[in-house]
Structure 1
Amino acid sequence: MFGGTDDAVIGFSGTGGQSLRQQFVANYAAKTPYLGLLGLSRSPTTISLPDGYSRSFSSTLAGAWYQGAQGYPASLTFGGYDALRGNTDSVLTLPLGAEITRDIVVQITAIGISSVGDPATPVQNVAAFIDSVVPEMWLPQEVCKVFKDAFDLEWNDDLGLYLVSDSQHEELLSQNATVSLSLESQGSTVTIDLPYEAFYQPITYPLADILDGTVLHYFPLRIAANDTQYMLGSVFLQEAYLAVDYHRREFYLSQAQFPGNENEYRIVTVHPPGWSHGLSTGAIVGIAVGAFALVVIACGLLWWFKYRPRSKKRASRLSAKSTEQDRDVFGYYGREKDGGEETYEKRELDTAEPGMRGSIASRCELPSPPLPQYSPGSPERDWPKDRGSIDMVEMGDYLTARRVPVQSPVELSADSEHERRPPPVEIA
């Protein structure tokens, strides 16, 4: 025995399959080959091996070596199924069994063989376990007799196998013989058709004590000793598509499909119960409120930094324009230069300037004399006409008129420093 390292590739060369670089590869000469297993069940399984054996995890999927020029690879999908490899229009749904070592069990109700032309033979109480590790089909002796008679099989006691003669093998290939297995569950039935090519398994050296180039045509069918040995092995899975849902404790069977392009696929994801790809109502409401708040904040920032300065500038322009209009209306109709500074001609009632003599109140109307001068019985008001004339007297912030006694005119000399005062005016 010798070994080395090499690249291990799942699939045919050049198909882009998954590869593992620098894997240990051993070459040995023995009549009993080792079989690697890839565990797919979610249930814990303990495997007891003799000392010196290593536990190998590699694919043992059946595929269909007889399909196409180079055969058709098997399909293995985790977390879903390939809708192009199974017949989604005709699917049998079955519950998983309680025993973890025999959980994928299907009930065989009838077996039909097309080369014979007879109706399908009913089968009673055949609950077969689907096991990809086992290459053959293990069935009751009476069921095996149906195959033996239809295909003219020869039983070899030394090998414990059914063999097919060379002539019979060629005849079955030319007839395109087909085996139909009717499977039932809870009133539903699905038929899986297996061509004779799926059963063709050649035996060569070093099996069956063959020491030369002899080839035996082996039919993968074994007689089960009891009902615990009823099994459908990898020969069955060449033409059946199996999907197992451990979350729902169900498995599904349908006729396998072989698309024209072996690299073509359509994966359908199967989610566990209670899974939701959408958001909860609370999350949706929270997102909506948050989005609304963001929109409001964005609009506020936009107004603050863009439109608010424009509004202030516009208000300033309108205020300046209004001031100019007010100046035109109330007497601000010209500008004069006074010592290099611009001044405006003031209107009669200037409410913007403080009052005279330090008054801080704005003047809003013309001043009037004190009320006593106009009240009834006032001396100033009832002054007789012959008592004098009116004189202008400054009183506070205003000027008022009052009567004064009549006096004779005062004559001033020509050299007087004072001007002649005009005579008082008589009030009629």
Structure 2
Amino acid sequence: MRVLPSTSGSSVWVVVAEGCNPATDPQDCPERRGELFASNASSSLVQKGFYELPLQAEEILGYSGNGQFAYDQITLGGNGAGGPALNNTMFAGIATKDFLIGTMGLTPWGVNFTDSNNPVPSLLTSLKNAGLVTSNSWGYSAGAFYSPKQTSGSLTFGGYDASRFVPNNLTFTRGPDIARDLLIGIQTITSGTDSLLLEGVVAMIDSTVAQIWLPNEACRRFEEIFGLVWDETAELYLVNDTLHQKLVDEDPSVTFTIGSNTTSSDIINIVLPYGAFDLTADWPLTTNGTARYFPLRRAANASQVVLGRTFLQEAYLIVDYDRNNFSLSRAVFPDTNVPQQLVTILPPSEKGSSHGRLAKGAIIGIGVGTAAIIVALIATFLYLMRRRWLPSAPKIQVTTNAPEETKPELDAQQTPNFSGMGTPVSLNSTPVEAKGSQRFPREMYDPSIIRPEVQGDSRRPVELAECARVVRHELSG
């Protein structure tokens, strides 16, 4: 099954059978949604319950959904690629079309359920507890499939790939709200000599979201400069053939000037060519075939300003939760014959390390590639397959060395079954809401504090490399 890396999530979400309605959805809906998880094919699956998805960051943008949470073994990587397998790993089956393809959370935060005394560890925490990575860190870029090289995305757990970015000295401090911690200051946005941003704004980086969300004033400037027209029905900036050809011929670029806040002197420029914005919308974004669109959305307030996967096509993001910082760099797209430069980020307790390349034998291959999928959400495809695991699931406790805050607790009074394993569950029904008192405030932060830069040595990050399509191993009924 294909999923997208989520820089704000902590668990794996996969689409289940209810995510495709044969009566109303396209015949190839399962393929479009990254393939469906056949819950009735696993006799080892252990259910947890039916909960509202933890979307503290994305609900501000109008995203919502419910999930049937359960435990099973998850193997990262292509069939036969030798990727790591994680036992007793929590995941959620989803049907909501707010997320066409499932996600793989990258944060170390556990998820608290109100009917359990201990938070369930995240995927990153599980990798660290299993000794597969040395630190709570990762490096990610969404790739540039529009480029002549059709460059794949890059995701490395426990380190980063130094061959995929241009290094700089700018380091950001994570924000105090774990739901909105990757905050940066956009100082200017320009296209040639044209200014597209009237004043600086604080933005959140979130790969769970496809588009770039900017203040209304900035969107109006994009409309004026590029001739964009907002479609109220589709709620997208649709691009007709005439405008598309004009933009292709002019080939404009958009430069984001970014600092730790909106006025700092240390900055980095991330340049997006028109190709990064030249996307095609299809079902379920549109109902009447395909349409070109420009992935810009209107932010109604400051909390909605978000840089999604569109931005991360041209940027490389490294997050080090152990040191409470992250970095942002200009992505580069090396030829396929250029070797990777995988660098481990050591935990702060290990000193005297230096950046170094990994020995080839230490690399754990996990399948990832990048493609402009049918709905044109430029995405990193991660392949997961489910196999049999132990029939009994012990209670799992978080052992990460991340800060003590955890995601808000999820509350549920019902635990319906997956379809095919008992009474069918409607994942589109009204969810049992999370307890509001458990939510953390979405605070802004003081980005003036600069933390030490990430360190590395020659030990093992888990790197995501390209692989063939995965065949899911299903158990017979």
Q: TM-score range by the shorter chain?
A: 0.5 to 0.7
Q: Determine the structure 2 residue equivalent to 1:75.
A: 154
* TM-fit CA distance, 1:264: 2.6
The structure, 1 or 2, with the larger RCO (C-alpha pairs under 8 Å, 6+ apart) is: 2
Alignment of 1:40-79 (within 5 A): 40-45=106-111, 62-68=142-148, 71-79=150-158
Q: Distance in 2 between matches of 1:269 and 1:9?
A: 19
Partner amino acid, structure 1, of 2:265:
G
* TM-fit CA distance, 1:215: 2.3
Match of 1:95 among 173, 196, 201: 173
Identify if the C-alpha distance between structure 1 residues 156 and 124 changes in structure 2 by more than 3 Å, giving closer, same or farther.
same
Q: Distance in 2 between matches of 1:95 and 1:240?
A: 18
Match of 1:143 among 211, 218, 226: 218
Match of 1:131 among 199, 206, 218: 206
Q: Which has the larger radius of gyration?
A: 1
Q: Tell me, what secondary structure is at the counterpart of 1:179?
A: strand
Q: Distance in 2 between matches of 1:46 and 1:223?
A: 33
**CA deviation digits over 1:274-297, x for unaligned, max 9?**
41358xxxxxxxxxxxxxxxxxxx
**CA deviation digits over 1:218-242, x for unaligned, max 9?**
1111111111111000000010000
Identify if the C-alpha distance between structure 1 residues 47 and 112 changes in structure 2 by more than 3 Å, giving closer, same or farther.
farther
Q: Determine the structure 1 residue equivalent to 2:191.
A: 113
Q: Determine the structure 1 residue equivalent to 2:265.
A: 187
Identify if the C-alpha distance between structure 1 residues 133 and 262 changes in structure 2 by more than 3 Å, giving closer, same or farther.
farther
Q: Tell me, what secondary structure is at the counterpart of 2:165?
A: coil
Identify if the C-alpha distance between structure 1 residues 143 and 43 changes in structure 2 by more than 3 Å, giving closer, same or farther.
same
Match of 1:39 among 78, 97, 105: 105
Q: How much is the aligned-residue C-alpha RMSD, in angstroms?
A: 3.7
Residue ranges of structure 2 left out of the alignment (5+ in a row): 1-16, 18-35, 42-73, 86-93, 115-121, 125-139, 354-477
* TM-fit CA distance, 1:33: 5.8
Identify if the C-alpha distance between structure 1 residues 180 and 47 changes in structure 2 by more than 3 Å, giving closer, same or farther.
farther
Q: Distance in 1 between matches of 2:184 and 2:253?
A: 20
Structure with higher helix content:
1
Alignment of 1:96-245 (within 5 A): 96-114=174-192, 118-185=193-260, 186-210=264-288, 214-245=289-320
TM-score (norm 1): 0.53
Identify if the C-alpha distance between structure 1 residues 46 and 159 changes in structure 2 by more than 3 Å, giving closer, same or farther.
farther
Identify if the C-alpha distance between structure 1 residues 201 and 44 changes in structure 2 by more than 3 Å, giving closer, same or farther.
same
Q: Determine the structure 2 residue equivalent to 1:325.
A: none
* TM-fit CA distance, 1:251: 0.6
Q: Is the CA contact 1:62–1:74 (under 8 Å) kept in the aligned structure 2? A: yes
Q: Is the CA contact 2:197–2:221 (under 8 Å) kept in the aligned structure 1? A: no
Identify if the C-alpha distance between structure 1 residues 76 and 152 changes in structure 2 by more than 3 Å, giving closer, same or farther.
same
Partner amino acid, structure 2, of 1:162:
Y
Residue ranges of structure 1 left out of the alignment (5+ in a row): 21-27, 49-55, 279-428
Question: Are residue 269 (structure 1) and residue 349 (structure 2) matched?
Answer: no
Partner amino acid, structure 1, of 2:157:
F
Partner amino acid, structure 2, of 1:41:
T
* TM-fit CA distance, 1:184: 1.3
* TM-fit CA distance, 1:207: 3.3
* TM-fit CA distance, 1:201: 1.8
**CA deviation digits over 1:101-129, x for unaligned, max 9?**
01000100101113xxx244454241100
Q: Is the CA contact 2:197–2:217 (under 8 Å) kept in the aligned structure 1? A: no
Q: Determine the structure 2 residue equivalent to 1:253.
A: 328
Q: Is the CA contact 2:141–2:316 (under 8 Å) kept in the aligned structure 1? A: no
Q: Distance in 2 between matches of 1:274 and 1:19?
A: 25
Give aligned-pair identity as a percent: 38
TM-score (norm 2): 0.48
Identify if the C-alpha distance between structure 1 residues 194 and 18 changes in structure 2 by more than 3 Å, giving closer, same or farther.
farther
Q: Is the CA contact 1:112–1:121 (under 8 Å) kept in the aligned structure 2? A: yes
Match of 1:84 among 147, 155, 163: 163
Q: Distance in 2 between matches of 1:252 and 1:233?
A: 16
* TM-fit CA distance, 1:263: 6.7
Q: Distance in 2 between matches of 1:221 and 1:148?
A: 10
* TM-fit CA distance, 1:72: 1.5
Identify if the C-alpha distance between structure 1 residues 37 and 232 changes in structure 2 by more than 3 Å, giving closer, same or farther.
same
Q: Distance in 2 between matches of 1:272 and 1:111?
A: 36
**CA deviation digits over 1:303-351, x for unaligned, max 9?**
xxxxxxxxxxxxxxxxxxxxxxxxxxxxxxxxxxxxxxxxxxxxxxxxx
